[in-house]
Amino acid sequence: MSAGYSVLWTEVAERDLREIIAFIADDTVQNALHVLENIKTKAAELYAFPERGRVVPELHSCGIFIYRELIVSPWRVLYRIAEGNVYITAVLDSRRNVEDILLHRLIQS
């Protein structure tokens, strides 16, 4: 049996998560901690079967198939699988336009 994949967070994804948690904590710290735990747990579970997430629809329509996502409602955890690792690349609010967010990030980098 395989040891599984390593789940690694990119700096951008860590920043996304910090910003989400800080925003929620302005209202209620307990809810922010619950969201943090839920997202981290779901992401960590990718070590066993990373293919379970769907290909990101907005990227799929552009011919980009290497990014997948988990829905941890209302958050979208975007990741890619490479060389025995799962790289968490973004945590986005599904209520926002993901295409605009990703385009903005590509332009900035």
31-88 per-position pLDDT tens digit: 999 999 999 999 999 999 999 999 999 888 888 899 999 999 999 999 999 999 999 9
Residue 68 is assigned to a structural domain of this protein: yes
Query: Helix 29-44 vs helix 11-25: angle between axes, to the nearest 10 degrees?
Result: 150
The CATH number that applies at residue 13 is 3.30.2310.20
Token reading at 12: 């951008």
Token reading at 48: 């066993």
**Domain span holding position 67:** 6-108
Q: At residue 108, what are phi and psi to the nearest 5 degrees?
A: -70, -25
> Per the structure, how many domains does the chain have?
1
What is this structure's pTM?
Answer: 0.89
Residue 1 is assigned to a structural domain of this protein: no
